[in-house]
Amino acid sequence: MRHTEFWARLEHALGTAYARAWAEQVVLAELGGRTAGEALDAGVPPKQVWAAVWRQLELPPSER
């Protein structure tokens, strides 16, 4: 997964206006106490970040 796909999925799940804010404000224990944005900036693969986001948001399996 590329960063662009990660952002597209997050925008689909949360809406364009809220996705970036959520990714910069919500801290995920699964990502080492970082936000999704911090994890991506630190080099965590987008696929791994998306998996943590998917679980946090309790999205349906079709969004996996």
- Residues 13-59 have pLDDT tens digits of 999 999 999 999 999 999 999 999 999 999 999 999 999 999 999 99
**Rounded Cα–Cα distance for residues 43 and 45 (Å):** 6
Are 24 and 14 in contact by the 8 Å Cβ rule? The answer is no
Structure tokens at 51: 């998996």
Q: What is this structure's pTM?
A: 0.92
Q: Which amino acid, 6?
A: F
Domain ranges of the chain: 3-63
